[in-house]
Structure 1
Amino acid sequence: MAKGYSARIAGNPYIVGSFACIGGGLFGLDISSMSGVLSNQAYFEVFHNPTSNAQGAIVASMPAGSLVGALAVTGLADRFGRKNTIILASLIWMIGSTLQCAAINRGMLCVGRVISGISVGLSSAVVPVYQSEITAPSIRGRLVSMQQWSITWGIMLQYFVQFGCSYLNGTASFRIPWGLQMIPAVVLGVGMLWFPESPRWLIDHGREDEALEILADLHGNGNHNDELVVLEFEEIKQQVTFERTEGAKSYADLFKPGVFRRVGLGCSLQMWSQLSGMNVMMYYIIYVFQGAGLTGRRGNLIADSVQYVLNVLFTIPAIIYIDRWGRRPLMIAGSLLMGFFLCLVGGLQGGYGAWGDVDGSQVWVISNHDSVTKAIIVCSYLCVCSFAVTLGPVSWTYPAEIFPMRVRAKAVSIATATNWLFNFALAWAVPPALSSIAWKTYFIFAAFNFAAAIHFIFCFPETAQRTLEEIEEVFAQGHIFSAWAISRDVGKRNLQDVIAEKAIDEKDGSIEKA
């Protein structure tokens, strides 16, 4: 099968692992497609000046669809493959983008956003699985974390398109950006036709020759006898064989001992990534800076754009060093830093702000305190940078690598669905919260971050630099509430161990036949 691919594409794991990240970029495009219109007069006129609750519902319609899409991955990715599910997601995105671009009322806009959300849910769940299953342990974290980087790129690029189109008159100022966002989906859907299927999925479906060919191309420069290729191929076969003896794949497997714990970790990590408050800074950054006292539409848009650029830049160190630094330190540090900066934002807002009228709406706003306004903007930037270099990449990497093959697609989709469930709730709840309890909203999210740090310290073991099969040994240790006690050497195996085990199995098999 791999012979049909370009040798350059099939033999470069970075190209294969990163191209699918365009699926993550679709999520980013959607985030700023909304944040960029919150000060657009043409948008207000077409959609009849939505209230804070109505605007929350419009924004939340996308994660509502994403929840459905993430749950649908459970059947699609196992039955039709990881690659084909990504292609399907790109097709659905094109439909959703078309409806959004042509929307003439709130209902049509919400339907388009729900359909686009289904696409985002599919891609956000299956892309990390696909990446984790085709990459070597030494670069797995780096490539899976590029999912988050592509999200930040989508946010930034769409926002600058929105910024440029804001100078146009009429509905073109928001319809052009909403129409252009289907271009990446076209590139993703067409491009994936030339990329390989997951070798783990192929082995699980009895297509071992194709899987070995792809593993050799990706990890051994086409050499089927390369040590890493032999090791990985044998480990995957052993794991698949073992899992088949455990019985048919079903949702009931998610509740089995050893697996249920990991489902809890994957879901809670995605939950904490949303409760960190990052999406408040992405979806509603205009409201945040407006409350800080930043006036003028142009100045607000420029300040917003700086935040999106920082989000892209500070994800780069995580991509480079996530496999060296590990997952645990990044999770713990990120939650503590975000909690600290959110406390500063809330404290400054509460100490220097007051209820006032802005564009005809009652909002909590800081007036005539330029230094405080600048301090809040800087703290907001630092909060976003903290997430970009820590929790953002890890929240996609960790759930994609902790589950057994037999339940990986189902478990990752459940974890991703948790992300979208909380995304939906927060997207709807934050505008009313900012208009009612104002600065106290930031302290709520800060408390979530500090609670997350405690959870990470006690319950999340390190998984960096291990194959997906070696991670099974990590969770077999049973250290449920003392994750720090698990050594980085647990589960480590080498080629000689695998060959010896294979020889013993073959010998036992020949004795049984005799």
Structure 2
Amino acid sequence: MAPGAVSSAAHDSAINHLLDPRKKWYNNKRLIALNGWIFLLLITSSTNGYDGSMMNGLQSLSQWQDYFKHPGAHELGLLNAIQNIGALAAYPFAPYLSDGIGRRPTVFIGALIMCIATALQGASQSEGMFVGARFLIGFGLTFAANAAPMLVSEISYPLYRAQLTATYNSLWYSGAIIAAWTTFGTFKINSTWAWRIPSILQGLPSVAQVLLIWFVPESPRYLLSKGKDEQALEVLAYYHADGNRDDPLIKYEFNEIKTAIDYDRTVAANVGWKSLFNTPGNRKRMRIIIAIAFFSQWSGNGLASYYLNQILNDINIKDSTTQLLINGILAIWNLICALIASSLVERLGRRFMFLLSGVGMLVFFTAQTISFAQFEINSHPAAAHSVIAFIFLFYAFYDIAFTPLIVAYTVEILPYPLRAKGFTIFNFTISLALIFNQYANPIALAAIQWKYYIVYCCWIAFECVFLYLYVVETKNLTLEETAAIFDGEDATREILGQGLDAAGHRDENKKQSGSVDEVEHHLGTLEKV
């Protein structure tokens, strides 16, 4: 049996029996406020998405090309990769800030650095200054991008956690849309402001975060890990139960989180970087996390993300207006596809979405390769148009899983004590993959053109096999239940049992009809993992 299939039959989480079906995000003032603060965290991803699209757009601007003396393939590689080199420099520090001083202060520090960096980028007087500013953007973004998605996952109302966390990475394209259409709007400005305006606007999400981040609630899991039980209970009760500390949902959440943190500290001894690989469960987590991080950047998407203008030049679409329009429309297409996928994560399940995404990417990247080859051989305009069509179809399938799920799935399969460090490994892996892509892609495209696509076709086929063998289904589970899947029966019973006791489900006088039987069945299903 494929290891990834073992939990596909998992039932709804025990916590679902405690949710009030009448309570929706749109009819409860405190949930509306909570989701508003979550949105402030979600836009962290927009800054990252803005960067890739902006660099695509700038390469189509003659004003930028002239100012920086028409950088060649090697220089373009450095200009694009330097942001991720800056990110690499920050990775050793980011998890210690997230776990040490809290999620909110870490987001604030990262956003403040990015505000300074984008101002320098817009004011650049030389290529060296531009490169330095982009290094600083990557450095600051690492802190915010480490803490923000974890905080989203840890404060969300249970019913909406998966969808909101999946939306985090999907909003990468909101930044891409703003950048694409900003460069389209400024390319007729006959001065350096054609590229300075887009460069400065990259900092807008960070400005909003610097001003508003202290209104966002701190993670209850962080507070509990620091012994601040009363503050954690207050946050949970205020936003999840209208201030009622005695609500069964709050008792369940509070005790489940507390038990999970205590279990990881004492039983599993999850401390330090070594613990990421010390146990079979953690090795299983890291194998999946590192793989999907590489897959998210090595599936051929890096070609169009950073070098769309070069691809379009290769198929004889060289008009700047046309290139900028295609870049802008592609960003909108990606956002729509990713947001639809984000809304379906709890219906379709992670495993199904990853497999569908992999197979679809393989089909349409292969079709893209064939069309590119046909254009090179016959120079037929229809083949060029097919390349563009297949780029859009490829991204539709990429966006099913590799936009919404890579962050959400990584965060949810990591237990709290390992979440910041494991998420740092995830981001570090992405940066390594991006740096390689950003250096190698323009050089390989210039040297062998469409033949380079064959490498990605073979790699995506390998991805499909890996996803089938190793991705585990986590649909409809809480963060603590998901973590327990990887650690076995004892962890599952310890964590869920404490939550049930607290909620009153094991008290015969308080028992809700049928709930215990369903939860026991749920426990039995998880034990099979």
TM, length-normalised to structure 1: 0.88
C-alpha displacement of 1:253: 1.5
Contact 1:13/1:219 (8 A) holds in 2 = no
Is 2:487 the partner of 1:476? yes
What whole-Å deviation, never above 9, does each CA across 1:226-270 have from its counterpart, x for those lacking one?
222111101011112222325473112112112122122112111
For residue 351 of structure 1, report the CA deviation from its aligned partner.
Answer: 2.5
Matched, 1:255 2:277: yes
Give, in angstroms, the shift of residue 476 of structure 1: 2.9
Partner AA of 1:463 in structure 2: T
For structure 1, which runs of at least 5 residues remain unmatched after alignment?
A: 1-6, 355-365, 479-488, 504-514
Q: Which residue of 1 aligns with 2:11?
A: none
Q: What corresponds to 2:80 in structure 1?
A: 59
Runs of 4+ in 1 over 3 A off after TM superposition: 7-13, 491-503
* Cα distance, 1:52 vs structure 2: 0.8
Contact 1:42 1:171 in 2 (8 A): yes
Q: Which amino acid aligns with 1:377?
A: I
Residue of structure 2 equivalent to 1:464: 475
C-alpha contact 2:84 2:434 (8 A) present in aligned 1: yes
2:409 is matched with: 398
**Secondary structure in structure 2 of the residue aligned to 1:224:** coil
2:308 to 285, 289, 294: 285
Whole-Å Cα distance in 2 between the matches of residues 213 and 476 of structure 1? Answer: 30
Report matched runs for 1:383-394 at 5 Å. 383-394=394-405
Q: Tell me, in whole angstroms, the C-alpha distance in 1 between the residues paired with 2:32 and 2:92.
A: 32
Q: Deviations over 1:124-164 (max 9, x none)?
A: 22222111111244322211111122210000111111110
Q: 1:440 to 1:120 in 2, by over 3 A?
A: farther
**Secondary structure of 2:263's match?**
helix
Cα distance in 1, alignment partners of residues 86 and 30 from structure 2 = 33
Name the residue aligned to 1:328.
351
Aligned-partner residue type, residue 478 of structure 2: T
Q: How far does residue 350 in structure 1 lie from its aligned partner after superposition?
A: 1.5
Q: Displacement of 1:477 after TM fit?
A: 4.4
- What does residue 353 of structure 1 align with? 376
CA–CA distance in 2 between the matches of 1:387 and 1:438? 22
Letter in 2 for 1:398: Y
Q: Tell whether 2:138 aligns with 1:117.
A: yes
Q: CA-atom RMSD, angstroms?
A: 2.4
Judge which range, 310-319 or 345-354, deviates more. 345-354
1:20-77 deviation per Cα after TM superposition (whole angstroms, max 9, x unaligned): 0111111011112211011211212221211111111111101111223344222110
C-alpha displacement at 1:274, in angstroms?
0.7
Could you tell which deviates more after superposition, 434-443 or 163-172? Answer: 434-443
Report the equivalent of 2:185: 164
Mapped contact 1:24–1:120 kept (Cα < 8 A): no
State how far apart, in whole Å, the 1-side matches of 2:115 and 2:264 are. Answer: 37
8 Å CA contact retained: 1:330, 1:391 = no
Matching residue within 233, 243, 254 for 2:254 = 233
Asked whether 1:425 is paired with 2:436, we answer yes
Does the alignment pair 1:313 with 2:336? yes
Query: How far has the Cα of 1:500 moved from its partner?
Result: 7.0
**What CA distance in whole angstroms lies between the structure 2 residues aligned with 1:16 and 1:389?**
26
1:209 CA drift (Å): 0.8
How far residue 501 of structure 1 moved from its aligned partner, in angstroms, is 9.8
- Bigger relative contact order, structure 1 or 2, given CA contacts below 8 A and separation 6+? 2
In structure 2, runs of 5+ residues without a counterpart are: 1-27, 508-529
| Contact 2:53–2:327 (Cα < 8 Å) also in 1 | no
- Amino acid across the alignment from 2:453: Y
Per the alignment, residue 87 of structure 1 pairs with 108
Distance 2:469 2:231 in 1: 41
Give the TM-score of the pair, scaled to structure 2.
0.85
Is residue 130 from structure 1 mapped to residue 151 from structure 2 by the alignment?
yes
Matched residues, number:
476
Whether the 8 Å contact between 2:184 and 2:321 is mirrored in structure 1 is no
Distance in 2, Cα, partners of 1:20 & 1:82:
10
CA contact (8 A) 1:348 1:376 kept: yes
Instruction: Among all aligned residue pairs of Structure 1 and Structure 2, give the percentage whose two residues are the same amino acid.
Output: 26
Letter in 2 for 1:314: C
Matches of 1:323 and 1:68, distance apart in 2: 36
Which stretch of the first structure deviates more once superposed, 94-103 or 239-248?
239-248
Deviates more, 1:262-271 or 1:216-225: 216-225
Q: Which residue of 2 aligns with 1:206?
A: 227
Structure 2 vs 1, CA of residues 238 and 501 (structure 1 numbering), >3 Å: closer, same or farther? farther
